């Protein structure tokens, strides 16, 4: 898969509410419905370990595994850097742990940017309230998904909500609350 495919695989997104797109993909022989307008980042390309420009299944599994590590339990990883098993990490171990934590944080921020950019397809710097709601649905409790999907559709019927625009900073602040 390409780096763009990797992003689509890990970021659960709906088509932007203000776009006429129904879906992004296409089959061989169909016309291309839209272009992915986010250039692959150098950071995402780090997961292309053999530098062939594509993400293999093994590279994808590694990427998804990293994303599944909750930040709150990441401290367990610290024990891996207790190089002499004395309950304290060495300077090298702390450095490596710090670098790993920094890279994981960078990965989460990149995913947030990609999510936002998907809905900000005109590069206005804001997304609609409805698209913001679409972004929140993947973090909802699965037993309430249908209810939330229905509520998202109602946003366009509410005059006070349909005109609201959300900036990346506001979206990012909300994402911090979800941690």
Q: What is the pLDDT of residues 87-107, one digit of tens each?
A: 665 555 555 556 666 677 777
Domain that includes residue 148, residue range: 3-178
**Distance set, CA 60 to CA 9, 41, 73, 119 (Å):** 9, 16, 22, 24
The enclosing H or E element of 167 equals strand 165-167
pTM exceeding the 0.85 threshold for the entire prediction: no
| Cα–Cα distance measured from residue 70 to residue 73, given in angstroms and rounded to the nearest whole number | 5
Largest CA distance in the chain: 62
Work out how many domains the chain is built from and give that number: 1
Q: What is the pLDDT of residues 43-68, one digit of tens each?
A: 667 677 777 878 788 777 777 777 77
| Cα–Cα distance measured from residue 17 to residue 22, given in angstroms and rounded to the nearest whole number | 10
């Amino acid at each position: 898969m390409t780096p763009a495919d990797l992003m689509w695989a890990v970021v659960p997104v709906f088509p932007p509410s203000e776009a006429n797109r129904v879906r992004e993909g296409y089959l061989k022989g169909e016309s291309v419905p839209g272009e992915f307008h986010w250039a692959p980042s150098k950071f995402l390309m780090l997961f292309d370990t053999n530098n062939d420009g594509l993400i293999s299944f093994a590279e994808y599994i590694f990427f998804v595994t990293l994303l599944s590590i909750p930040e709150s339990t990441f401290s367990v990883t610290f024990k891996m850097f207790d190089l002499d098993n004395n309950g304290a990490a060495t300077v090298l171990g702390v450095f490596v742990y710090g670098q790993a934590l920094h890279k994981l944080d960078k990965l989460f921020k990149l995913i947030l940017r990609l999510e936002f950019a998907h809905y900000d397809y005109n590069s206005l710097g804001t997304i609609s309230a409805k698209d913001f709601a679409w972004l929140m649905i993947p973090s909802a409790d699965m037993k309430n998904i249908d209810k939330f999907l229905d509520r998202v559709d109602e946003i366009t019927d509410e005059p006070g909500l349909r005109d609201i625009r959300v900036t990346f900073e506001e979206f990012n602040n909300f994402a911090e609350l979800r941690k």
